[in-house]
């Protein structure tokens, strides 16, 4: 999942960087376009889009992890109970 996250984040930030570089080309002598309020707003928007796109997948992974953990706990508990039952005989 980390690779998926990194790729999506790179895509979102890359799109903003290309957009900002295109704007810099329209303004001769412009300094760093990444320090402008428009750049900050564009980067915030990219991060929001990234979060919106990744949230469903992150929730799915969290739910699956919870299910696996519950299954492991149930299996461990049943094993302990079975072994205790065997010692009572």
Spell out the domain ranges in the chain: 2-88
Average pLDDT, the chain: 82
Q: For residues 17 and 25, which has the higher predicted lDDT (pLDDT)?
A: 17
Side-chain half-sphere of 86: how many Cα atoms within 13 Å? 6
- Cα 42 to chain center, whole Å? 19
Task: Report the pLDDT averaged over residues 36-50.
Answer: 89
Helix (H, G, I), strand (E, B) or coil at 89: coil
Res 48: pLDDT: 93
pTM above 0.85, yes or no: no
Over 90: is that where the pLDDT of 34 sits?
Answer: no
Q: For residues 30 and 74, which has the higher predicted lDDT (pLDDT)?
A: 74
DSSP string, 4-28: HHHHHHHHHHHHHHHHHHHHHHTST
């Amino acid at each position: 999942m980390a690779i998926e996250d990194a790729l999506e984040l790179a895509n979102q930030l890359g799109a903003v960087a290309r957009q900002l570089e295109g704007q810099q080309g329209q303004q001769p002598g412009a300094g760093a376009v990444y320090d402008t309020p428009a750049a900050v707003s564009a980067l915030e928007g990219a991060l929001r889009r990234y979060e919106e796109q990744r949230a469903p997948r992150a929730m799915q992974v969290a739910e699956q992890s919870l299910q696996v953990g519950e299954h492991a706990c149930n299996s461990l508990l049943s094993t302990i109970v079975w072994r205790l039952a065997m010692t009572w005989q």
